[in-house]
Amino acid sequence: MNDDLKSLIRTIPDFPKPGIQFRDITTLLLDAQGLRTAIDRMAEATIGPVDLVAGIEARGFLFAAALAVPLNAGVLLIRKDGKLPGATIAEDYALEYGQDRIAMHEDACVPGQRVLLIDDLIATGGTARAAVRLLRKAGAVVDQAQFLIDLPDLGGAEALAADGIRVDSLVAFPGH
């Protein structure tokens, strides 16, 4: 259904390391109609209303800000730990080799606010699942997430669904 958008996403082989097929969204971002179409379709898929759209650093910020406008919602930033000024709360998550940590301002949402999670791509789901835990720790109601791209072979969307999240993606690519 979204082959028009899929055709605007460039694949760069062997980046950042051999064997990886990098899905480059900058080509879609350069196309004004493609970007508008992606945001319109994400808005249509949203089960609303939502109070906040939470974007995961960094490309998720682009989609969160653009999507928040038609949804009449605010934007909540989820960043790598240490990047936000002021008081924050954080959540650790496992990487292929080691750990990482994401954070948000402790006053970014109030308990009971409905939050839509957004990022450009879901792969293994580690960061997205940590973001859901972080938002729920703050008292947010998080039951849906949207991504421009899903890499279903890596299982991230399934893992999020197991956490009670409705996952929508506009396009899917096989492999990793």
In a domain, 109, yes or no: yes
Q: Which residues pair with 75 in a beta bridge?
A: 53
DSSP structure class, residue 153: G
In a domain, 5, yes or no: no
Structure tokens at 48: 């609303």
Whether residue 38 contacts residue 170, with contact meaning beta carbons closer than 8 Å, is answered with yes
Question: Taking 80 as the threshold, does the pLDDT of residue 97 lie above it?
Answer: no
Share of the chain above pLDDT 90, in %: 93
In a domain, 3, yes or no: no
Q: pLDDT at position 134, please?
A: 98
Q: What distance in Å separates the CA atoms of residue 103 and residue 149, rounded to the nearest whole number?
A: 23
Q: What is the pLDDT of residues 59-87, one digit of tens each?
A: 999 999 999 999 999 999 999 999 999 99
Q: pLDDT at position 105, please?
A: 98
Q: pLDDT at position 175, please?
A: 79
| CATH assignment at residue 51 | 3.40.50.2020
In a domain, 53, yes or no: yes
Q: pLDDT at position 1, please?
A: 80
One-letter amino acid for residue 92 of the chain? D
DSSP codes of every residue in 83-132: -S-S-EEEEEEEETTEEEEEEEETTSS-TT-EEEEEEEEESS-HHHHHHH
**For the chain, what is the domain count?**
1
- Please, what is the average pLDDT of the chain? 96
Q: pLDDT at position 49, please?
A: 96
In a domain, 19, yes or no: no
Q: pLDDT at position 18, please?
A: 93
Q: Which residues pair with 24 in a beta bridge?
A: 10
Question: Taking 80 as the threshold, does the pLDDT of residue 12 lie above it?
Answer: yes
CA distances from residue 42 to 2, 6, 8, 63, 91 in whole angstroms, order as listed? 11, 14, 16, 9, 27
In a domain, 21, yes or no: no
Name the nearest CA neighbour of 132 among 92, 100, 163.
Answer: 163
Q: What is the pLDDT of residues 116-169, one digit of tens each?
A: 999 999 999 999 999 999 999 999 999 999 999 999 999 999 999 999 999 999
In a domain, 81, yes or no: yes
Higher pLDDT, 108 or 94: 108
Whether residue 8 contacts residue 26, with contact meaning beta carbons closer than 8 Å, is answered with no
Q: What is the pLDDT of residues 36-50, one digit of tens each?
A: 999 999 999 999 899
DSSP structure class, residue 27: H
Note down the domain range covering 85. Answer: 47-172
